[in-house]
Amino acid sequence: MKNKYETSYNLKDRANIIKDVIKDSISAEMGIAKGFKLVSINGSNITDILDYKYLITDEYLEIEFENLQGEIEIYEVEKEQYDDLGLLFETELIDKPRNCHNKCIFCFMEQLPDKVRDTLIFKDDDYRLSFFSGNYITLTNMKESDIERIIKYRISPINISLHTTNEAVRCMMLNNKNAGKVLKYIDRLFEAKIDMNIQIVLCKDINDKELLYKTLQDVSKYMPMIKSICIVPVGISKYRDNLYKLNPIEKEDCLDVIENVSKFQQKFKKKFGTNLVYLSDEFYLKAEIDIPAYKEYEDFPQLENGVGMIAVFENEFRTEIPKLKRKITNLTKVNNDKIDIIMLTGKITYNYIKEKSKILEELIGNVNIDVRYVENNYFGTNITVTGLMTGNDILETIKGAHNNMTIVIPDVCLKEDEAIFLEDVKLEDLKSKYNNIVISETSTKGFIDAIYNISINK
């Protein structure tokens, strides 16, 4: 079939190749196959997933494909407005993700050792991923036309890595001379009623104290379009040679931030009916004070950024404990042999996990839980989260453990689809040295189930 429309872009440059076709979908019925290229819909070229999603909402479609022989084929489709075509593309965005144009002074990817998993080092800064995957973007690689697309397609919310509203400080922090002037895009998004979530990476003596308070005040002017503001402390690894000198956020700093941010929360609650600003759990854990109550996190808008995870854990713990008690009561066979368990965690959550393990020990009766934190020698001892524990550091922590001890490792420090740690050490390597290694799901239920199952199965 002859191409009916002018196609203005080079297909070779585009990732609009069909990777798969969903079974029984509209495209499967049309006979579209893996390897076809999507050329246009109703005469419009497809730049990316946003165009695609927008264009397929028409009820009548004329779709151009390039088939496996390189010929153009046109298909007519009549469908309901929101019916999907069932096409899966080579890349999620039908386009290359946009690279980050910054060199932030706090970028964790600049502070990684040489040999680290690839997935940790891709620096994207793509507004389309903000919408589809919840990524945070700096706005620095965006043009007016991108903002117009966001508004046209109603991409909402947009997650913005703001850090500060002080233009000069933002330029310095992001190492990008455009980082200040692009803040005007926030005004555009606000006027167009696009929801926004804001992230602030707090760097000591750079964007903290008065600058932070000013930033919170400035951002609150965009209410009600701001859905949340989260503040996370800068992570500092030991690989900072030739990088900007940053000081870690210490316990006293955390106490100060908590005290001052809570004043803003109270003020915002009164004015807007929401706390609006949330601190990541790390602040409270480091300050060694209680995590706010579950309800203070409202609808947990920034859980993915480590904001409210402990509150969720705590809440689930309260729900899971009665279930555990029932399971113990219903046991037909009681195992009275004492079982030794080593429970591994990051340093930041050590006290918390220890406290919960004590409760489980008392309830279950036959387990002795030795909670150990894994000192992070790989990234440096300032890194204390469980998710960045590595295989070799774990080996160091469990050195000398007897073979009759069961070692519990949370799955968050393993690759999602493979039993491999961050520095490419395999779980198998650990298992070859220690017989009893159990991987627990990183959740309250996973934690409780792991201990309970060990207690009954030994």
**Nearest distance in Å: CB 141, ligand SF4:** 9
Binding mask 90-119 toward ligand SF4 (x if CB under 6 A, else -) reads: ----------x-xxx--x-x----------
- Asked whether the bond before 301 is cis by omega within 30 degrees of 0, the reply is no
Closer residue to ligand SF4, CB minimum distance, 123 or 214: 123
Closer residue to ligand SF4, CB minimum distance, 67 or 135: 135
Q: Can you tell me which of 66, 125, 126, 281 binds ligand SF4, judged by CB under 6 A?
A: 125
Calculate ∠ Cα 329-334-340, nearest 5°: 110
Residue 375 in tokens: 């000192």
Asked whether position 265 contacts ligand SF4 by CB under 6 A, the answer is no
Contact 178, 140 (CB under 8 A): yes
Closer residue to ligand SF4, CB minimum distance, 30 or 137: 137
**Nearest distance in Å: CB 234, ligand SF4:** 10
Q: First vs last Cα of the chain: how many Å apart? A: 68
Pairing of strands 406-410, 339-345: parallel
HEC secondary structure over 78-120: ECCCCCCCCEEECCCCCCCCCECCCCCCCCHHHHCCCCCCHHH
Q: Can you tell me which of 53, 98, 123, 327 binds ligand SF4, judged by CB under 6 A?
A: 123
Closer residue to ligand SF4, CB minimum distance, 107 or 212: 107
Contact 124, 98 (CB under 8 A): yes
Pairing of strands 437-440, 406-410: parallel
**Nearest distance in Å: CB 107, ligand SF4:** 3
**Nearest distance in Å: CB 104, ligand SF4:** 3
Q: What are phi and psi of 223, to 5 degrees?
A: -70, 145
Closer residue to ligand SF4, CB minimum distance, 123 or 267: 123
Closer residue to ligand SF4, CB minimum distance, 162 or 454: 162
**Nearest distance in Å: CB 121, ligand SF4:** 9
Contacts of 145 (CB under 8 A, 6+ apart): none
Closer residue to ligand SF4, CB minimum distance, 138 or 345: 138
Please identify which residue in the block is written with the tokens 């689809």. 417
Residue 445 in tokens: 């239920």
**Residue 311 and residue 297: Cα distance in Å, rounded?**
8
Binding mask 134-163 toward ligand SF4 (x if CB under 6 A, else -) reads: ----x-------------------------
**Nearest distance in Å: CB 241, ligand SF4:** 17
| Site residue total, ligand SF4 (CB under 6 A) | 9
Please identify which residue in the block is written with the tokens 């990476």. 201
Q: Which of 236, 231, 201, 218 is nearest to 302 (CA)?
A: 231
Binding mask 366-405 toward ligand SF4 (x if CB under 6 A, else -) reads: ----------------------------------------
**Residue 195 and residue 197: Cα distance in Å, rounded?**
7
**Nearest distance in Å: CB 102, ligand SF4:** 4
Closer residue to ligand SF4, CB minimum distance, 85 or 234: 234
Closer residue to ligand SF4, CB minimum distance, 111 or 275: 111
**Residue 418 and residue 127: Cα distance in Å, rounded?**
29
Binding site for ligand SF4 (CB under 6 A): 100, 102-104, 107, 109, 123, 125, 138
